[in-house]
Amino acid sequence: MNKIKVNLKNCYGIRELVHEFDTSEGRAFLVYAPNGAMKTSFARVFDDVSINQMPKDAIFPQRVTTFSITDETDSPIAPEQILVVDPYVEDYTSQKTATLMVNKDLRRQYEDLVKLIDDKANKVLT
């Protein structure tokens, strides 16, 4: 997959968004913008698609919602190819995070380090 094409209309307050992400040099994107720039709405659409749920417009439910998230051949992106990391969730977990680190030893080391950091942070706070 070399491109991800996003075409959203009336999705969680996003009136219209058409954009093509070039994935030829990487498969992950960081969306950074000021508060109120629709980052959460954008993530909610992808989250809905990842769990086979139809996105909607919660702000204006009477508006017709349309969306497509496709590759360069206009084939839909499979839900299992989408991972949305929820913000501000201290103990975030997802069944899809296992794909972030396939090597079991590295994954265990990572989880151990995260637990160690969390434990030390909790001690500092108390």
Q: Report how far residue 77's alpha carbon sits from residue 22's, in angstroms, rounded to the nearest whole number.
A: 14
**Best CA proximity match to 12, nearest among 59, 69, 80:** 59
Q: Report how far residue 11's alpha carbon sits from residue 3's, in angstroms, rounded to the nearest whole number.
A: 21
Q: Report how far residue 92's alpha carbon sits from residue 114's, in angstroms, rounded to the nearest whole number.
A: 11
pLDDT given for residue 59 in this prediction = 82
Q: Report how far residue 83's alpha carbon sits from residue 80's, in angstroms, rounded to the nearest whole number.
A: 8
pTM tops 0.85? no
Q: Report how far residue 15's alpha carbon sits from residue 8's, in angstroms, rounded to the nearest whole number.
A: 8
Q: Where exactly are the structural domains of the chain?
A: 1-84, 88-126
Number of helices and strands in the chain (H, E): 2, 3
Whether the per-residue pLDDT at 97 is higher than 70: the answer is no
Q: What is the pLDDT of residues 14-23, one digit of tens each?
A: 999 999 999 8
Whether the per-residue pLDDT at 83 is higher than 90: the answer is no
Q: 25: pLDDT confidence band, cut at 50, 70 and 90?
A: confident
Q: What is the pLDDT of residues 60-78, one digit of tens each?
A: 899 999 999 999 999 999 9
pLDDT given for residue 66 in this prediction = 96
Are 45 and 55 in contact, with CB atoms under 8 Å apart? yes
> Count of alpha carbons within 13 Å of 50, Cβ hemisphere only?
16
